[in-house]
Amino acid sequence: MLLALLQNYHIWILEMRVVSSLVLLGLVGFFLHLYNTVWLKSVRLRRKLQMQGLKGPTPSLLYGNLAEMQKIQLQAQKSPNHSEFVAHDYTSSLFPYFEHWRKEYGLIYTYSTGLRQHLYVNQPELVKEMNQCNSLDLGKPSYVSKRLAPMLGNGILRSNGIFWLQQRKIVAPEFFTDKVKAMVGLMLESAQPLLRKWEECIEVQGGMRAEIQVDEHLRGFSADVIARACFGSSYSKGKEIFSKLRSLQEIMSHQPFLFGSFSNLGGLKRQKEISCLEREIESLIWETVKEREREGLETSSSEKDLLQLILVGAMSDQSLGKGKDSSKRFIVDNCKNIYFAGHESTGVAASWCLMLLALHPEWQSRIRTELAEVCPDGQLDANSLAQLKTINMVIQEVMRLYPPAAFVSREALEDTQVGNISIPKGVYLWTLIPTLHRDTDIWGQDANEFKPERFIDGVSKACKFPQAYIPFGLGPRTCLGKNFAMVQLKVVLSLIISKFTFSLSPKYRHSPAFKMIVEPGNGVHILIQKSHL
């Protein structure tokens, strides 16, 4: 009996030894695999770039250059230099490590975050090649897309390859110039509540100067425009959807989605909130689609809103994939994409415009004079808007100095040639738009000054290298809503300037902040009064 027990014990010990050796072997194999596929891969990528003469800061084993980035950022926070608004290039406070390395390594350099290998590309010729590259092998960085998935799904903003191309074909025609012209009426309508509110604020002050923080008003205007353009007859449901999308964006903007590590992705509670909002938004959009289907899709073309057109496009395009689910995903994701792309960036651009116009009242006067000449009856329409050259120049100059989108980014989805550089699969490319827009070699010694007159004969005459002016990107992935945004900005600025004069309030604190796009961190406070034409 005792012998049998001892024998069993020995067998058990033997088994345990075999199991632990197997586990150990598995672990060693796993780490070897990780070392080979992840770490060595990143070393190989860097070597391929270095062999082409590209340099950059030396990365550490696991974290790449993240620690150095953090250190440089902390130093920059200790010595803020925001006093001169216009001369202040926000990259020096928001992304100081890029400035630091640019001084050391020039306009193209390598760096890594964790095991990801990046290439900073701010040399104008290469920026042009990268943006105009037609190959589907260059796409939007997939790791950023994954992090933004609850907001944007696999819609046009972040998808890649054939799927992106199909979506672009369906959505692009809805933003052609004649379609945008037809939306001027709804833009004028959307601006009315903002104008009324500002007039009321002045009345409350007995007709004297009133202080206003403009940002929420402009965001509201922009959300209203996009809700009307997108949802038309289902406008009130559109507003509900958009207010939930705004909450989603608020929650997500607290997460580091560009360079941070996954450990920072937010607590479980936040993830739960995100999933819950995602489900609510999806079901609201889908309810609206169902209503449309019940009403019948074929309304007269003048009544067609973006949702309807996306709907027809999705239903009739077989290439999107089989089944209702893929059409459903297409519709839901693209409604979210158009909301995010369309509402936030335009609202923020309008805030920056008012900030710089408040600093430069002479440009308010010039716009006012032109408005009086072009539409003496005060009635704006698509034709008169097209003749407003001064306001166009001002918007172009604001978007040069304060482009809301800070980056153009790409990932080499396959080995790709960009200009004279071979980009190995897996490398991420980043162009910092504001730095390019203030490069004195491109714009001249006055690059840091607000001078809208530089655009008097268009972008090609304003600088040495027009392809380096990219507030809306360039090439196959250029912004689809560029015309839409420009017309919307012209509408709201013309209306504001025709009714009010304004200056910067002492409350204004210059602090650009990066929350997916670059916005005035503490808002734009202005002092307004009625204008006397």
Out of 76, 274, 408, 528, the residue judged to bind ligand HEM by CB under 6 A: 408
Cα–Cα distance measured from residue 170 to residue 159, given in angstroms and rounded to the nearest whole number: 14
Measured from the CB atom, is 68 or 397 closer to ligand HEM? 397
- Answer whether 270's CB lies under 8 Å from 198's CB: no
Measured from the CB atom, is 76 or 354 closer to ligand HEM? 354
436 is an interface residue for ligand HEM by CB under 6 A? no
Taking CB under 6 A as the binding criterion, the range among 33-41, 181-189, 284-292, 470-478 that sits at the site for ligand HEM is 470-478
CB-based contacts of 134: which residues, under 8 Å, 6+ apart? 475, 476
Cα–Cα distance measured from residue 447 to residue 436, given in angstroms and rounded to the nearest whole number: 10
Helix (H, G, I), strand (E, B) or coil at 504: strand
Q: Which residue of this chain has its Cβ atom nearest to ligand HEM in the complex?
A: 481
477 is an interface residue for ligand HEM by CB under 6 A? yes
Out of 124, 424, 434, 471, the residue judged to bind ligand HEM by CB under 6 A: 471
- Residue for token digits 């701010």? 122
Cα–Cα distance measured from residue 225 to residue 152, given in angstroms and rounded to the nearest whole number: 20
168 is an interface residue for ligand HEM by CB under 6 A? yes
> Does 133 carry a binding-site annotation?
no
Give the up-direction half-sphere exposure of residue 128: CA atoms within 13 A in the CB hemisphere.
8
The terminus-to-terminus CA distance of the chain in angstroms comes to 111
> Using CB atoms within 10 A of its CB, is residue 18 exposed (0-12), middle (13-18) or buried (19+)?
exposed
Looking at residues 16 to 55 of the shown chain, list those that interact with ligand HEM (rule: CB under 6 A). Answer: none
Take residue 190 and report the two structure tokens written for it: 């959307």
Measured from the CB atom, is 216 or 295 closer to ligand HEM? 216
Taking CB under 6 A as the binding criterion, the range among 82-90, 265-273, 363-371, 400-408 that sits at the site for ligand HEM is 400-408
Interface characters, 81-120, with ligand HEM (x: CB under 6 A): ----------------------------------------
Measured from the CB atom, is 179 or 425 closer to ligand HEM? 179
CA distance to 136, 153, 394, 406, 440, per residue, from 144 (Å): 18, 12, 33, 15, 31
Give least dist CB 310 to ligand HEM, A: 11
345 is an interface residue for ligand HEM by CB under 6 A? yes
Measured from the CB atom, is 46 or 118 closer to ligand HEM? 118
CA distance to 136, 145, 169, 319, 345, per residue, from 162 (Å): 8, 16, 11, 10, 26
Cα–Cα distance measured from residue 188 to residue 183, given in angstroms and rounded to the nearest whole number: 9
Out of 341, 375, 418, 495, the residue judged to bind ligand HEM by CB under 6 A: 341
Q: CA angle, 409 as apex, 403 and 415 as ends, to 5°?
A: 155
Measured from the CB atom, is 65 or 160 closer to ligand HEM? 160
392 is an interface residue for ligand HEM by CB under 6 A? no
338 is an interface residue for ligand HEM by CB under 6 A? yes
For every residue of 285-347, DSSP letters joined together read: HHHHHHHHHHH-S---GGG--HHHHHHHHHHH-GGG-SHHHHHHHHHHHHHHHHHIIIIIHHH
Cα 372 to the center of its chain, rounded Å: 35
156 is an interface residue for ligand HEM by CB under 6 A? yes
405 is an interface residue for ligand HEM by CB under 6 A? yes
Give least dist CB 227 to ligand HEM, A: 11
Looking at residues 126 to 155 of the shown chain, list those that interact with ligand HEM (rule: CB under 6 A). Answer: 131
Looking at residues 485 to 524 of the shown chain, list those that interact with ligand HEM (rule: CB under 6 A). Answer: 485
- Residue for token digits 């089944």? 323
Measured from the CB atom, is 89 or 519 closer to ligand HEM? 519
Instruction: List, in sequence order, every residue forming a beta bridge with 527; answer none if it has no partner.
Output: 211, 503
Out of 138, 480, 487, 518, the residue judged to bind ligand HEM by CB under 6 A: 480
Binding residues: 479
Q: Residues in the site for ligand HEM, rule: CB under 6 A? A: 131, 156-157, 168, 337-338, 341-342, 345-346, 349, 404-405, 408, 471-473, 477-481, 484-485
